[in-house]
């Protein structure tokens, strides 16, 4: 496999899709050796087939704002690969959304979903719609207009979207309501649904909980745990919220949260009522974390990343490429022992290389944030069986799945007695499952 040539070909066909090329390069570098050892992959052109989505759907979403003005956004759904199960992956509503970002997310989702042990293919979608500052009515009208187009492409056994940045329980509610009306069915076509209408307990917390479970598995290999540790978290959304809760429950102190405006430093720890305040802040449709500092009288550092704060464990839970080389240097210099990605691709490739070379524990998002989509899979199971499990049952499955993913990463990523390359392990384990399924099922 000639990685540079594959990337050059992709650049020719899809100019400017930088996030997408970044995600593809990382996977190819990890799997190169195993790919070359198995000629059946090359003769079936597995890589060429895997790097192109099955289909990309782009549609306009016209809607009416509160002033009566018609607005137009772009909607997307990228159905990447369904070799091991129905297309599955979140919807992101954020002004930065474009084809490159959604393709990188959809591509990552293929391997992440394969790691969960559940039968789910990879997809992603969303819109450049900005939910910040919008009224509930505007969000409802936008979500309904979005679903008016999307519903033709999805179904409980075909493609099952969920939330991501800017899409939480409220948006899933509006989307589901419109789907139900159009399709005349109540099914598990979306996950992250409300508890009273098909949602699963623990799904809201699952990505953050799973992230901490994964970090804990890594720490255990070094005889460590969360108790008494100082933790830096970025973001203040859904994933950060779950991670803060679980890290605190395990006896750690979470000292930072961040937003696009900067980060807050809370030396006493984000716990109790402060965690509830995070939820209110996110639901308030503002896009800044600064009100936390005002509310609790703690430091706010405008325009900065939280990684300069000394910590033992770092959980990046905001967005892609939010932890760069200089952030990695701060973490290493301050004696951080573990970086466990809650967001998708939050560390730049240069930062990943530095963190790994330092010898610290480093887990990529596709392994360490898979608890969210795994619990979506558990929601699909409950919907199909028309039952609901208790929180303890779902949490037990989630915990077991995160341990399993950790084992898969260790199996394929062990470098020596001392070091596991979790990036390589996750990519190889995910790749082999999907590639073998594609070969078993022929050229389609």
Nearer to ligand NDP, 263 or 389 (CB): 263
Distance from C-alpha of 401 to C-alpha of 217, rounded to nearest angstrom: 12
Among 82, 127, 207, 427, binds ligand NDP (CB under 6 A): 207
Q: How far apart are the first and last CA of the chain?
A: 22
CB of 317 to ligand 2IT, least distance (A): 12
Sheet holding 159-162, edge to edge: 55-64, 70-81, 121-127, 87-93, 159-162
Nearer to ligand NDP, 11 or 128 (CB): 128
Which residues in 149-188 contact ligand NDP (CB under 6 A)? Answer: 163-166
CB of 160 to ligand 2IT, least distance (A): 7
Q: Smallest Cα–Cα separation from 71: which of 59, 60, 81, 87?
A: 60
DSSP readout, 245-274?
A: HHHHHTT-EEEEEEETTEEEE-TT-S-THH
Contact 140, 174 (CB under 8 A): yes
CB of 376 to ligand NDP, least distance (A): 8
Does position 317 bind ligand NDP by CB under 6 A? Answer: yes
Among 161, 291, 372, 425, binds ligand NDP (CB under 6 A): 372
Task: Decide which of ligand 2IT, ligand NDP, none touches 85; Cβ closer than 5 to 8 Å per partner kind.
Answer: none
Does position 97 bind ligand NDP by CB under 6 A? Answer: no
Q: Smallest Cα–Cα separation from 7: which of 47, 67, 64?
A: 47
Nearer to ligand NDP, 160 or 438 (CB): 160
Nearer to ligand NDP, 28 or 97 (CB): 97
Site string for ligand NDP, 214-253 (x = CB under 6 A): ---------------------xxxxx--------------
286 in helix, strand or coil? coil
Task: Decide which of ligand NDP, ligand 2IT, none touches 238; Cβ closer than 5 to 8 Å per partner kind.
Answer: ligand NDP
> Which residues sit at the interface with ligand 2IT, rule CB under 6 A?
88-90, 112, 162, 164, 191, 344, 372-373, 376
Catalytic residues: 124
Binding residues for ligand NDP, rule CB under 6 A, total: 24
Task: Decide which of ligand NDP, ligand 2IT, none touches 343; Cβ closer than 5 to 8 Å per partner kind.
Answer: ligand NDP
Distance from C-alpha of 107 to C-alpha of 267, rounded to nearest angstrom: 38
Contacting residues for 372 by C-beta, under 8 A, at least 6 apart: 162, 203, 206, 207, 210, 239
Q: Which residue is nearest to ligand NDP (CB)?
A: 237
CB of 35 to ligand NDP, least distance (A): 27
Distance from C-alpha of 392 to C-alpha of 412, rounded to nearest angstrom: 31
Residue 56 has a CB neighbour count (10 Å cut-off) of: 16
Does position 191 bind ligand NDP by CB under 6 A? Answer: no
Task: Decide which of ligand NDP, ligand 2IT, none touches 214; Cβ closer than 5 to 8 Å per partner kind.
Answer: none
Is residue 175 exposed (0-12), middle (13-18) or buried (19+ Cβ within 10 Å)?
buried
Q: What does residue 39 show for φ and ψ, rounded to 5 degrees?
A: -60, -20
Q: Which residues are near ligand NDP by CB under 6 A?
A: 163-166, 207, 235-239, 258-260, 282, 287, 317-319, 322, 342-344, 369, 372
């Amino acid at each position: 496999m000639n990685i540079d040539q594959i990337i050059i070909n992709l650049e020719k066909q899809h100019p400017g899709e930088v996030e997408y090329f970044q995600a593809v390069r990382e996977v190819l570098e990890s799997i190169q050796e195993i790919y070359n050892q198995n000629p059946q992959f090359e003769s079936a052109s597995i890589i060429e087939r895997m790097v192109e989505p099955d289909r990309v759907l782009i549609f306009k979403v016209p809607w009416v704002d509160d002033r009566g003005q018609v607005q137009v956004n772009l909607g997307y759904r990228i159905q990447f690969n369904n070799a091991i199960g129905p297309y599955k992956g979140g919807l992101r509503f954020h002004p930065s959304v474009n084809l490159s970002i959604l393709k990188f997310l959809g591509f990552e989702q293929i391997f992440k979903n394969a790691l969960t042990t559940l039968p789910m293919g990879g997809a992603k979608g969303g819109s450049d719609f900005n939910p910040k500052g919008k009224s509930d009515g505007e969000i409802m009208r936008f979500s309904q207009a979005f679903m008016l187009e999307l519903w033709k492409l999805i179904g409980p056994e075909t493609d099952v979207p969920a939330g991501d940045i800017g899409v939480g329980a409220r948006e899933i509610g509006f989307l589901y309501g419109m789907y139900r009306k159009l399709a005349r069915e109540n099914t598990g076509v979306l996950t992250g649904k409300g508890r009273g209408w098909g949602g699963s307990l623990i799904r809201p917390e699952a990505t953050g909980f799973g992230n901490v479970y994964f970090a804990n598995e890594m720490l255990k290999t070094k005889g460590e745990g969360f108790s008494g540790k100082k933790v830096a978290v970025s973001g203040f959304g859904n994933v950060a919220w779950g991670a803060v809760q679980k890290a605190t429950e395990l006896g750690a102190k979470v000292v930072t949260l961040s937003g696009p405006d900067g980060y807050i430093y809370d030396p006493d720890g984000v716990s109790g009522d402060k965690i509830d305040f995070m939820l209110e802040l996110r639901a308030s449709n503002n896009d800044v974390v600064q009100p936390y500092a005002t509310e609790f009288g703690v430091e706010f550092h405008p325009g900065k990343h939280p990684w300069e704060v000394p910590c033992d464990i770092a959980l990046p839970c905001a967005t892609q490429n939010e932890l760069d080389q200089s952030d990695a240097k701060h973490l290493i210099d301050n004696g951080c022992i573990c970086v466990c990605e809650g967001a998708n691709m939050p560390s730049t490739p240069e930062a990943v290389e530095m963190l790994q070379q330092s010898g610290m524990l480093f887990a990529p998002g596709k392994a360490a944030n898979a608890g969210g989509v795994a619990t979506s899979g558990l929601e699909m199971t409950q919907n199909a069986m028309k039952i609901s499990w208790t929180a303890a049952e779902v949490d037990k499955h989630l915990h077991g799945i995160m341990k399993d993913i950790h084992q898969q990463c260790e199996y394929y990523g062990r470098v020596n007695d001392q070091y596991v390359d979790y990036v390589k392990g996750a990519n190889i384990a995910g790749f082999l499952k999907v590639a073998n399924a594609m070969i078993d099922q022929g050229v389609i």
